[in-house]
Structure 1
Amino acid sequence: MTTGPNTRSLDLNSDLGEGFGIWRLGDDEALLGVVTSANVACGFHAGDPSTMREVCRRAASAGVAVGAQVSYRDLAGFGRRFIDADPAELADEVLYQIGALDAFAKAAGTRVAYVKPHGALYNATVHHDAQARAVVDGARAFGDLPVLGLPGSRLLHHAERAGLRPVREAFADRAYTPDATLVPRSQPNAVLIGTDAVVAQVLRLAERGELVAVDGAVLTVEVDSVCLHGDTPGAVEHARAVRAALADAGVAVARFVAE
């Protein structure tokens, strides 16, 4: 969270553009009215050219930052299956995805402003040194892009070493292990369903810099951005409630990258 003498601010991001062809996932338009950063699927786990272009257009119109949500090449598994990818190939695929999205962003009058891995790749880069470095190598080959990831991850370590801005992220609707990683989706109660629980988790982060793990342990966590998933039940209601609660608490919602 960014703080100043009299202000506190927090970025809200969401995974958008995750439909494919005739299939739609989530309410991109509604979420773009709430969040300040959009992690746009780049076609490897979800998304297609028309979807990418439309989300970039809507994001530009709303003043929302466009981020490349890069993934393993895994449409069938929605990018949620680990792939033992060759690091050099993975770096090239990350660069490919960023470049594809940036073409649509530029057509909409904006740009790709940051990079965030998706799904299994996101989780892998917490501890998998070679893949974390590969994601950073792909991002660095494109340019000076901030990298969004889990605090303490190998991804953010390598981003900082490469001269890229590491952006620390937490999740509004995900449960945490005692070591401050995400509870795998394969386990029970990995996703918070109720709006009250989601709002409470974000407010505790914003006001105290804390998360409560599944075993009751209190974790100290500093973050710059909070992810509001768009594909969970009640996602739009969760997002609107979070933004309203932050406003009531005196926390400004603002993008972490300049326009």
Structure 2
Amino acid sequence: MRIDINADLGEGFGPYSIADDEALMPLITSANIACGYHAGDPMIMDRTVRLAKENGVDIGAHVSFPDRMGFGRRVIQMDASEIEKHVLYQLGALDAFARATGQRIWHVNPHGALGNLASADAKTAEALVSAVRQFDPEIRLLVLPGSALEKAAKEAGLPCWRLFLVDRAYTKDGQLAPRSLPGAVIKDEAAVLARLLKLLREHVVETIDGETIDMPAHSILVHSDTPGAVALARTIRKALEQSGTSIVPLSAQV
């Protein structure tokens, strides 16, 4: 089995930062880089892209609603055309820094409210897929298995990779449990590790309702803004290595 480890990075603004990007980067194989909408600015984007290159980490665009105050976790009412253009704008911004360092964008992972909406709503998913396909049809989307986003990508002939959020609870329909629900964010390292091992052995996950659903995955996400994220990433990487799983970036899974 081959699997990627990714994390959301570059999520700061000016002198402020959310996570320890320098410590996380050597532990992952793909980075979802904030494109200035929910976090990030030109200096941070440039620094994060260069840090990824130094560590041999794939670059992905972490696109969002324009919601810096809410960290991209609030839905902003837009029609499909607006969503498409906002995603294109963010791809162009990150691509400029990638090209300047001889790199490219490998994947798109929608952040927060935009990601949740695209997973459940066909129109939002189609807008996001349209933006990615127009920008570069070789870029793949990171998707929840069975989601509206995966369906839209497949219908458009756009390849995608399946994502597992190891520290987030799922509902029985395969969506992420709302953060407002108790237990939606899993902070106990032992519980996170147990979920990971179950995924590796059985390719399933237990939902917040106590049911079991299939969970095929190409990539595992570590939330960088979770307390203890660096230690958790180390634990996850060690568990994968001990299980005999090959840890490879998404670009090596084409």
Same fold (TM over 0.5): yes
Task: Give per-residue Cα distances to partners, 1:58-105, cap 9 Å, x unaligned.
Answer: 101111110000001111111101122111111011011011001111
Contact kept in structure 2, 1:10 and 1:206, CA below 8 Å: no
Q: Distance in 2 between matches of 1:256 and 1:41?
A: 18
2:15 to 22, 27, 40: 22
Distance (whole Å) between structure 2 residues aligned to residue 214 and residue 136 of structure 1? 29
- Residues 20, 46 of structure 1: 8 Å contact kept: yes
- How many residue pairs were aligned? 252
Contact 2:30 2:60 in 1 (8 A): yes
Question: Does the residue aligned with 1:114 lie in a helix, a strand or coil?
Answer: strand
Matches within 5 A, 1:1-259: 8-144=1-137, 145-258=139-252
- Aligned partners of 2:38 and 2:70 also within 8 Å: yes
The offset of 1:210, in angstroms, is: 1.0
Aligned 8 A contact 1:224 1:256 in 2: yes
In 2, are the aligned partners of 1:195 and 1:237 still within 8 Å (CA)? no
Secondary structure of 1:33 counterpart: helix
The CA deviation at 1:215 is 2.3
Gaps of 5+ in 1: 1-7
Structure 1: which 4+ aligned runs deviate by more than 6 Å?
Answer: none
| Structure 1: distance between partners of 2:73 and 2:129 | 20
Give me the CA root mean square deviation.
Answer: 1.2
Letter in 2 for 1:232: T
The residue type equivalent to 1:194 in the other structure is D
Contact 1:156 / 1:166 at 8 angstroms: preserved in 2?
Answer: yes
Residues 13 and 36 of structure 1 are in contact (CA less than 8 Å); yes or no, is this contact kept in structure 2? yes
Q: What's the offset of the Cα at 1:109?
A: 2.0
List gaps (5 residues or longer) in structure 2. none
Q: For the residues of structure 1 that align with 2:125 and 2:214, how far apart are their CA atoms? A: 23
Identity of aligned residues (%): 46
Query: 3-state DSSP class of the match of 1:117?
Result: coil
Aligned to 1:5: none
Q: String of CA shifts for 1:104-153, please: whole Å, max 9, x gaps.
A: 11112211111110000110011211111111111111112101111111
Give the letter for the 1:76 counterpart.
M
TM-score (normalised: structure 2)? 0.96
| 3-state SS of 1:257 partner | helix
Task: State the alpha-carbon separation in 2 of the partners of residues 166 and 111 from structure 1.
Answer: 17
**Does structure 2 conserve the Cα–Cα contact (< 8 Å) formed by 1:209 and 1:221?**
yes
Tell me, in whole angstroms, the C-alpha distance in 1 between the residues paired with 2:88 and 2:73.
20
Superposition deviation, residue 27 in structure 1: 0.8
Residue 219 of structure 1, CA deviation: 1.4
CA–CA separation in structure 2 for the residues paired with 1:29 and 1:103: 22
Letter in 2 for 1:198: V
